[in-house]
Amino acid sequence: MHVISSECITCSACKSECPVDAIHEGDDQYTIDENCIDCGACVAVCPVDAISMKE
């Protein structure tokens, strides 16, 4: 599963790319829920590289 770090600038680029609507706006950054299919579409569009695979 992918996760979004605190580097997130809440630009919403990732949300519009997610094919399964797994990205949601949180209080101070976007989050990815358990519906993530690990397609990587969000990673490719994040302007600040805030999205990565969960370790």
Topology of domain 2-53 in CATH is Alpha-Beta Plaits (3.30.70)
Of 8, 33, 11, nearest to 20 by C-alpha is 33
Q: What average pLDDT does range 2-15 have in this prediction?
A: 97
Specify the pTM.
0.90
Summarised one tens digit per residue, pLDDT across range 41-53 is 999 999 999 999 9
Token pair for residue 37? Answer: 């299919």
Confidence of residue 8 (pLDDT cuts 50, 70, 90): very high
**Under 8 Å between Cβ of 4 and 25:** no
Summarised one tens digit per residue, pLDDT across range 9-20 is 999 999 999 999
Amino acid 48: pLDDT: 98
